[in-house]
């Protein structure tokens, strides 16, 4: 088995935060609005793929981006979540939307409390 031709910035178990940016103009965004600014843990590196945010408008430059499956605690995603505290949601997110997290991915407090 050969090594992948891309170098992912993150690996399984890494704590990451989804960028909270809201690009303007003509966009085809693949990252759900509700997950922006939230912290989770990389569950796996799915591979490297063409950027659908560029492909949608015919501006693809040939680069492939790492795609990750990121796991989030439901209680940290939804205000007033009343389900099982162990419930999670997995979302596939491209590397351009992820930043290293400043704290723990699970069990941490990512609220805006001062």
CATH classification at residue 39:
2.30.30.50
In a domain, 107, yes or no: no
Is residue 45 included in any domain, yes or no?
yes
What's the pLDDT at 55?
78
Alpha helix positions (H), the chain? 52-55, 74-77
Please give the tally of structural domains in the chain: 1
Is 105 among the domain residues?
no
Inside any domain, residue 6: no
Question: Does 8 map to a domain?
Answer: no
Determine, yes or no, domain membership for 109: no
89/58 Cα distance (integer angstroms): 31
**pLDDT band at residue 114 under the 50/70/90 scheme:** very low
Residue 4 lies in a domain: no
Give the model's confidence band at 98: pLDDT under 50 very low, under 70 low, under 90 confident, else very high: very high
Q: Confirm whether 54 is domain-assigned.
A: yes
Note down the domain range covering 54: 15-100
CA angle 102, 71, 62 (to 5 degrees): 85
Q: Is the dihedral of CA 69, 30, 63, 17 positive or negative?
A: negative
Predicted structure pTM score: 0.79
- The tens digit of pLDDT for each residue in 17-58 reads 999 987 766 676 788 999 999 999 999 999 999 888 777 777
Task: Flag whether pLDDT at 104 surpasses 90.
Answer: no
- Which pLDDT score, from 0 to 100, does residue 77 have? 96
């Amino acid at each position: 088995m050969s090594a992948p031709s891309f170098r992912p910035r993150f690996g399984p178990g890494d704590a990451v935060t989804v960028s909270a940016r809201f690009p303007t103009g003509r966009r085809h965004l693949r990252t759900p609005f509700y997950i922006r600014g939230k912290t989770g843990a990389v569950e796996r590196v799915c591979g490297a793929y063409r950027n659908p945010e560029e492909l949608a408008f015919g501006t693809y430059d040939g680069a492939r981006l790492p795609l990750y499956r990121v796991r989030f605690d439901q209680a940290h995603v939804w205000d007033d979540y009343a389900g099982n505290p162990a419930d999670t949601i997995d979302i596939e997110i491209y590397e351009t939307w992820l930043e290293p997290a400043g704290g723990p991915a699970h069990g941490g407090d990512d609220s805006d409390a001062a």
